[in-house]
Structure 1
Amino acid sequence: MSFLEFRRLSVAFGDYVAVEGVSLRVAEGEFVSLVGPTGCGKSTLLNAAAGLLSPSEGEVWVAGRPLKGLNPLAGYLFQQDAILPWKTALDNVALPLVFRGTPWGEARERARAWLAKVGLERFAQRFPHQLSGGQRKRVGLAQVLIADPKLLLMDEPFSALDVQTRQLMENELLRLWQEDRKTVLFVTHDLEEAIALSDRVVVMAAGPRSRPIGDFPIPLPRPRDVAEVRLTPEFLRLHREIWELLRGEVLRAHAGT
């Protein structure tokens, strides 16, 4: 059963059509990654799923209903840190609960438990400028997950991290995802990251008027270690197969055609 569905979705900004006629289903509990060249509308689809953008044509369906306005079932982890610099790690994680009416005391207790889940219990009173890039991402991840979203939207959340920290965060994400299998739509420019994390990888055509042109199941066994899985023959086979399609779109985008 589809939890998230784009039905002939088109989004235009004036005369520029970012995506056109997109039909895509994401099953409940499925981890799907979108890959494609810059400007192919990946983030546009995330924003439409979050209810931040209204379709020019078509519909977004969530949990069997057409989406109208903001998506109350979604949590969004952005590429840039969205934590408040004047609040501690603990208070940043507690904020989503406070915004929903939870008293500060109860919200902080639940936030402590989430900081422990992401390995930051000793850093509860640190401010963002006192944390490393990876630690700030852990705070952001806990901040999103504490609200228990049914749909997790992620827009290149680890792209600014160094390679080692990025792999640690990818494994952290998979560990947390394994606990309750939320539905995930993940955007990345890194094909290796997409394969290592996902159940399916969807390739988007070069923009404008982008749409999905390839849909690849990833049959790698779970649980996975993202560093180890990259060394397996099946991973390399999948990478070659998907890159064969993706490479042409990247070249087309660079050529501006």
Structure 2
Amino acid sequence: MDKAKPTAKPTAVALEDATVAFRLADARVYTAVEKARLAVAHGEFVAIVGPTGCGKSTLLNVAAGLLKPAAGAVRIFDQPLTGLNRDAGYLFQADALFPWKTAIDNVAIGLEIKGTPRQKALEQAQAWLTSVGLGAFANRYPHMLSGGQRKRVGLAQVLIRDPKILLMDEPFGPLDAQTRQVMGNLLLELWTADRKAVLFVTHDLEEAIALADRVVIMSAGPGSRIIGDWRVELPRPRDIFEVRLDEQFHELHREIWGVLKEEVMKGYAQSTQAGGAD
């Protein structure tokens, strides 16, 4: 008897010729992103890199259902996205913590608003804080935590809801270089344990290569397009501190930077003019 072929898993995020445009105050239309085509497989980690103002965050907002494309389509697990993406968790660059709530309450609230009894929500929140290395900091308020610690709370806050997709917009951008690397390793550790689809926006090409399965490059705006898509063949598990010393890492960095550099210079020129959507 022949064995049944395994069923292909649906694509977690698919942008199909997505175009995003905004109407300016003077009634002109500004096209931020034009005909973006991108597919993120179930369990795949994809990083998006591009110059300032190229629309990287705009693409995340489209995938989150916060922006509706002017043309094209968005599909989530092969189904059309018609409103907010309920399968996604969104980690922003800025902290999204309630300053009047403790760390454990900030994490638990994601379950409480869904109807989980408070005691159960607190137990799960404590477990997540422990998993991000903050088990002893549960009763501290955000102002009592360092920038890196607040990012850990934010990560736990998103992951406790068990989203199928992680949308991450420069989540480690405000941190110092060493803390960013620590947070990168923590993210990879958590992601390896439960392979969610990840769409990760960053300005840092080294960070993108160190973390991702694929690195996608966007052109300078307006009318930004996806102009490159590189697969990162570096073996996993990875250590952010060590992988950057690998010759294969440097070869890939040189190859991608050869394309990205020109777009960065275009983006710099664009930043001195009106318009831009990052």
TM-score of the two chains, using structure 1 as the length reference: 0.99
Q: How does 1:83-232 map to 2 (within 5 A)?
A: 83-232=97-246
Q: Which AA in structure 2 matches 1:188? A: T
Q: Which moved more, 1:101-110 or 1:72-81?
A: 101-110
**Partner residue in 2 for 1:9:** 18
Deviation at 1:104, TM superposition (A): 1.0
SS at match of 1:148: coil
Q: Distance in 2 between matches of 1:81 and 1:121?
A: 19
Deviation at 1:55, TM superposition (A): 0.9
Deviation at 1:227, TM superposition (A): 1.2
Deviation at 1:3, TM superposition (A): 1.4
SS at match of 2:89: strand
Q: How does 1:12-91 map to 2 (within 5 A)?
A: 12-14=21-23, 15-91=29-105
**Partner residue in 1 for 2:276:** none
Give yes or no for the alignment of 1:247 onto 2:256.
no
Q: Distance in 1 between matches of 2:103 and 2:215?
A: 33
Unaligned stretches of 5+ in structure 2?
Answer: 1-9, 24-28, 274-278
Deviation at 1:201, TM superposition (A): 0.1
Q: Distance in 1 between matches of 2:75 and 2:197?
A: 14
| Structure 1 stretches of at least 4 aligned residues deviating more than 4 Å after TM superposition | none
SS at match of 1:253: helix
Deviation at 1:255, TM superposition (A): 2.3
> Residues 214-243 of structure 1, C-alpha deviation per residue, up to 9 Å, x if partnerless?
000000000000110000100000000000
Q: Distance in 2 between matches of 1:115 and 1:38?
A: 33
Q: Distance in 2 between matches of 1:196 and 1:172?
A: 13
Q: Which AA in structure 1 matches 2:183? A: M
> Residues 58-77 of structure 1, C-alpha deviation per residue, up to 9 Å, x if partnerless?
11100110101100000000
- Identity of matched residues, %: 64
SS at match of 1:68: coil
Q: Which AA in structure 2 matches 1:177? A: W
Q: Distance in 1 between matches of 2:102 and 2:266?
A: 45
Deviation at 1:207, TM superposition (A): 0.5
Q: Distance in 2 between matches of 1:128 and 1:3?
A: 33
Q: Distance in 2 between matches of 1:120 and 1:252?
A: 42
**RMSD of aligned alpha carbons:** 0.8
Q: Distance in 2 between matches of 1:237 and 1:2?
A: 29
Q: Which AA in structure 1 matches 2:134? A: L
TM-score of the two chains, using structure 2 as the length reference: 0.91
SS at match of 1:219: coil
> Residues 3-59 of structure 1, C-alpha deviation per residue, up to 9 Å, x if partnerless?
110011001111111101111111110000000000111000000000001111111
Q: Which AA in structure 1 matches 2:167? A: L
SS at match of 2:12: strand
Unaligned stretches of 5+ in structure 1?
Answer: none
Q: Distance in 2 between matches of 1:133 and 1:88?
A: 15
**Partner residue in 2 for 1:237:** 251
Q: Distance in 2 between matches of 1:24 and 1:181?
A: 19
SS at match of 2:153: helix
Q: Which AA in structure 2 matches 1:152? A: L
Deviation at 1:112, TM superposition (A): 0.5
Matched pairs, number: 257
